[in-house]
Amino acid sequence: MIHFDPTTKIFNLVLATSTYAFYVDSEGRLLHLAWGARPADAASTAVLHGPGFESLPHFDQLPLTRRYELSTLGDGAMQEVSLAVGFPALSADLTSDEAPHLPVRDVRLRYLSHEIVSDHKVGPDPSSGSGCSAQPGLAPTHGQPGCVTTPRETLRVRLTDPTQPFEATLCYRLTPEHDIIERWCEVANTGPEPLTIEALAFATLHFPNGANELTSVSGWWAREFMVARERLPMGVRTIEQRAVQTGHCANPFFMLNRPGQAWEETGEVYFGALAYSGAWRIAFEQLFSLDVRAHAGYNPFDFSLTLAPGDSHTTPAIAIGVCPEGWGGASRRLHAFALERVLPCPADGPALRPVLYNSWEATYFNLSLEGQIALTHKAAAMGVELFCVDDGWFGGRRDDHAGLGDWTVSPDVFPGGLKPLIDEVHRLGMQFGLWVEPEMVNPDSDLYRAHPNWILHFPGRPRTEWRYQLMLDFGRREVVEHVYSVLENLLKDHAIDFIKWDMNRYATEPGSVAGQAIWRAHTAGVYEIMDRLREAFPRLQIESCASGGGRVDLGILARTDQVWTSDNTDALDRIRIQEGYSLAYPARAMEAWVTHRHNHQTGRILPLSLRFDVAMRGGLGIGANLNELEDAELAEYASYIAFYKRFRHVVQGGKLHRLQRLEEWGASVIEYVTADGREAVYSVVVFDHQLGWVRPPAPLRGLNSDATYTATDRHGAEVYRATGFDLMTVGIPGDASGGPSYSRTLHLKQV
Ligand code: GLA
């Protein structure tokens, strides 16, 4: 519910268990009032009434502590801001010695009007007339229609500068059932001269005083999503990526709480996640007063946005919320939101993510029709449902030195084209998937030879190669059209069900015909191509990969079905990676492979049970070389896959509880449970075990106390039977002294 009181000028955004409020002050500024959990006994219509807020310390006239809903350069600001604009002239006449002061970099946003609109159409069409339309390719519409499309309310508050020809509309879309507000902003040049925007966040966020414990993730290739929990310093702490993809170094989500007042399942936790896969930044700022605020949106590094007269720009969104059920509760809200409102709803496609086989680690660049066909037979026999051929099938791509850009099937590898393989995959009852890396070229490629200037570079300057490749300039319209038509033709000519869209380098010399707009244009181009492909091929599924988990965020999840979480397939390393991923993103989209006994990345030897127990926590995939396995081991794979299929609906659609986290226990115990509590999956993996440690069983959550449950293992054997009450009070015994690499998965069902 969105409530506005014309007397106090207070806006209340009322969600299931939280409230967000701001007001228009006597000068017309839009100032933050409160954001937090609602008192448990509050009526669903209870709102903040005021008046009298001006006398609170936040609302005194000290500009430093004034809590703007969008803070701007000028207007009293001396700290971090969300918006900076340069105006080329004053509206009044200038005296000659004032002219050197231009441009005027002072924006004052004052209330003009507001409206509440319903998003009657969810989809990529910006001409829908809905208040929630977005710039094509960017995120407020979130790509494809999600599974739940019931209309939601959006509040649009129009602000203008009193003298300069500039408007900003702050947008708040409510998903009350998950306590989520999506915020974004629209900026418009209403004057006759071009304007330059020098910094633009999607939103300024204000947290309660003292909410300075930050949870975020950082990492690198093979080490994505490493969780860090820290106390914010006084001043500014940023998490960011200066790239045209989301990046490995950090991921655009956060959780914040007052230290000591939140834990895994308890306490008030604030969270936010950007729906954007380009250069992003979230700057947290803590003032002397312990006020904590964040500026979340485009990275100001090398940023510039020119608005021609009459032009406007709509930013992507940030999904924010507050939850009284700890970090776990915050994760569950983000997961539910992503599942219902962000991930594309399969058109007629599989309701659950299929079990995947990917031949990359089995054959690398050593591809052949016979070799792949041998793998398809073994994969199908063990229950695989989607067979994906990885890198190396096209152009001159016999290794990573050549061929990117030439997306035609290589006769050296597949003399009869891909059709014989695709037909065989389909005959065996599996879907067919193919790897592509459409944003790139190798200098040794026909595409580069034909268009050496189609890449990001500064004329006359060296072009840095990374994995022997260069990045196409998506600032050129003809490049975006070329990439689209190449992929369109590939999909028209072949019965492809799935593409793994990879992206294996960072931009270095960002020279583009689009100038500095390339930082946004690249991402918008990727989104546009994906959206058009999905519209043209509604059954197509896409996996987002960028050297593993380098492009994972709510923006890409809106147009892909799953992500490749990391190139690191070592099950023990993977627990950490998956735990960090799970803070913000749902298991359904988390592709996880079982690979070789002797792991190719780390060299570690781990038992098959552990490799499956970790991979079955997400979308299960197989990446081992099946030709190297004995029949007995193939049969074991088949038995695990059959086990996974019995409970995958719980993993892919249930609620996650991190019952024991690595940080505290050296073990990771998680549970997925269905919304009605009738079914659950219980998964234990021990990472570290020291003699003398006794791990208590982890009480389960979300079951029905009075009901009785059976817990079965992979063989269908009942290993435990207890009431929901017992399970939620004591847990499942038997794992206390499991040593390093001990693991087990149980499927619980109400009888
Ligand atoms: C990247 C991906 C891998 C694989 C290779 C192929 O590293 O993350 O999964 O597809 O490229 O070159």
**Per-residue pLDDT at 132:** 38
Spot the catalytic one: 502, 531, 553, 735. Answer: 502
Which sign, positive or negative, has the C-alpha torsion 572, 574, 577, 581? negative
- Taking the C-alpha atoms of residue 252 and residue 246, their distance in angstroms, rounded to an integer, is 7
How many Å lie between the centroid of ligand 1 and the Cα of residue 546? 8
Residues contacting 161, CB < 8 A, separation 6+: 107, 108, 109, 110, 167
Q: How far apart, in Å, are the Cα atoms of 340 and each of 436, 583, 592?
A: 28, 17, 22
Indicate the residue type of 35.
Answer: W
Closest to 720 (Cα-Cα) out of 748, 751, 683: 748
**Per-residue pLDDT at 141:** 52
Backbone phi, then psi, for 680, in 5-degree steps? -150, 160
Contacts by 37-40 with C-beta closer than 8 Å and gap 24+?
Answer: 37/268, 37/322, 37/323, 37/324, 38/14
- Taking the C-alpha atoms of residue 453 and residue 296, their distance in angstroms, rounded to an integer, is 34
Closest to 205 (Cα-Cα) out of 28, 32, 80, 11: 32
**Per-residue pLDDT at 124:** 38
Backbone phi, then psi, for 640, in 5-degree steps? -65, -40
Residue with the smallest CA separation from ligand 1 atom 8 is 547
Overall average pLDDT of the 447-473 stretch: 97
Dihedral angle, C-alpha 437, 438, 439, 444, nearest 10 °? 80
Q: Residue 138 pLDDT > 50, yes or no?
A: no
Q: Does 668 contact ligand 1 (Cβ within 6 A)? A: no
Name the CATH superfamily housing domain 356-647. Answer: Aldolase class I (3.20.20.70)
Q: Are 4 and 49 in contact (CB under 8 A)?
A: no
Q: Does 390 contact ligand 1 (Cβ within 6 A)? A: yes
Confidence of residue 60 (pLDDT cuts 50, 70, 90): low
- Taking the C-alpha atoms of residue 662 and residue 665, their distance in angstroms, rounded to an integer, is 5
Pairing of strands 356-358, 318-323: unpaired
Overall average pLDDT of the 442-458 stretch: 98
Out of 61-75, 176-190, 325-339, 530-544, pick the least confident: 61-75
Residues contacting 367, CB < 8 A, separation 6+: 359, 389, 392, 393, 413, 414
Confidence of residue 123 (pLDDT cuts 50, 70, 90): very low
**Per-residue pLDDT at 50:** 76
What is the DSSP track for 74-109? STT--S--SEEEEBSS-SSPPPGGGGGG-SB-----
Residue with the smallest CA separation from ligand 1 atom 5 is 391
Q: Identify any residues that bridge with 68 across adjacent strands, giving them in sequence order.
A: 31
Pairing of strands 318-323, 269-274: antiparallel
- Taking the C-alpha atoms of residue 493 and residue 352, their distance in angstroms, rounded to an integer, is 27
Confidence of residue 674 (pLDDT cuts 50, 70, 90): very high
**Per-residue pLDDT at 89:** 79
Overall average pLDDT of the 348-353 stretch: 77
Q: Which atom of ligand 1 is least distant from the CA of 546?
A: 8
- Taking the C-alpha atoms of residue 495 and residue 431, their distance in angstroms, rounded to an integer, is 9
**Per-residue pLDDT at 150:** 86
Confidence of residue 350 (pLDDT cuts 50, 70, 90): low
**Per-residue pLDDT at 740:** 81
| Residue 75 known to be catalytic | no
Within 1-97, where are the H helices?
none
3-state DSSP assignment of residue 3: strand
How many Å lie between the centroid of ligand 1 and the Cα of residue 471? 16
Spot the catalytic one: 5, 125, 311, 567. Answer: 567
**Per-residue pLDDT at 363:** 96
How many Å lie between the centroid of ligand 1 and the Cα of residue 156? 42
Overall average pLDDT of the 253-266 stretch: 97
Q: Which atom of ligand 1 is least distant from the CA of 400?
A: 12
Q: How far apart, in Å, are the Cα atoms of 628 and each of 378, 596, 634, 639?
A: 11, 9, 10, 18
Closest to 320 (Cα-Cα) out of 272, 382, 369: 272
Q: Residue 703 pLDDT > 90, yes or no?
A: yes
Q: Are 134 and 140 in contact (CB under 8 A)?
A: yes
Q: Residue 102 pLDDT > 70, yes or no?
A: yes
Name the CATH superfamily housing domain 658-750. Answer: Golgi alpha-mannosidase II (2.60.40.1180)
Confidence of residue 741 (pLDDT cuts 50, 70, 90): confident
Q: Are 581 and 224 in contact (CB under 8 A)?
A: yes
Q: How far apart, in Å, are the Cα atoms of 664 and each of 549, 613, 668, 737?
A: 25, 20, 9, 16
Residues contacting 492, CB < 8 A, separation 6+: none
The conformation of residue 517, written as its DSSP 8-state character, comes to: G
Confidence of residue 490 (pLDDT cuts 50, 70, 90): very high
Q: Which atom of ligand 1 is least distant from the CA of 500?
A: 10
Q: What is the 3-state secondary structure (H, E, C) of 434-503?
A: EEECCCEECCECHHHHHCCCCECCCCCCCCCCECCEEEECCCCHHHHHHHHHHHHHHHHHCCCCEEEECC
**Rounded to a whole number, what is the distance in angstroms from the first to the last CA of the chain?**
40
* CATH class for the region spanning 2-342: mainly beta
**Per-residue pLDDT at 127:** 40
- Tokens linked to 625: 């070389």
Q: Does 435 contact ligand 1 (Cβ within 6 A)? A: yes
| pLDDT, greater one: 695 or 751 | 751
Which sign, positive or negative, has the C-alpha torsion 356, 360, 365, 369? negative
| Residue 688 known to be catalytic | no
- Tokens linked to 414: 């597949």
Vertex 367 angle, CA 361 and 368, to 5°: 140
Radius of gyration for the chain, computed over Cα atoms and rounded to the nearest angstrom: 27
Confidence of residue 59 (pLDDT cuts 50, 70, 90): low
Q: Does 502 contact ligand 1 (Cβ within 6 A)? A: yes
H or E segment to which residue 243 belongs: none
pLDDT digits (tens, 9 = 90+) for 399-435: 999 999 999 999 999 999 999 999 999 999 999 999 9
Confidence of residue 375 (pLDDT cuts 50, 70, 90): very high
**Per-residue pLDDT at 137:** 37
Indicate the residue type of 397.
Answer: R
Confidence of residue 131 (pLDDT cuts 50, 70, 90): very low
Out of 311-315, 345-349, 679-683, pick the least confident: 345-349
- Tokens linked to 691: 């003699």
Confidence of residue 55 (pLDDT cuts 50, 70, 90): low
Closest to 208 (Cα-Cα) out of 261, 249, 279, 247: 261
- Taking the C-alpha atoms of residue 294 and residue 201, their distance in angstroms, rounded to an integer, is 10
Overall average pLDDT of the 111-123 stretch: 77
The residue extents of the domains of the chain are 2-342, 356-647, 658-750
pLDDT digits (tens, 9 = 90+) for 496-553: 999 999 999 999 999 999 999 999 999 999 999 999 999 899 999 999 999 999 999 9
- Tokens linked to 36: 């937090």
Q: Which atom of ligand 1 is least distant from the CA of 547?
A: 8
pLDDT > 90: percent of the chain = 85
How many Å lie between the centroid of ligand 1 and the Cα of residue 181? 35
**Per-residue pLDDT at 57:** 61
Query: What average pLDDT does the structure give for the chain?
Result: 93
Residues contacting 351, CB < 8 A, separation 6+: none
Q: Identify any residues that bridge with 684 across adjacent strands, giving them in sequence order.
A: 669, 744
Residue of 435, 499, 568 best suited for mutating to test ligand 1, as the one with most atoms within 8 Å of CB:
435
Total number of residues shown for the chain: 751
**Per-residue pLDDT at 122:** 37
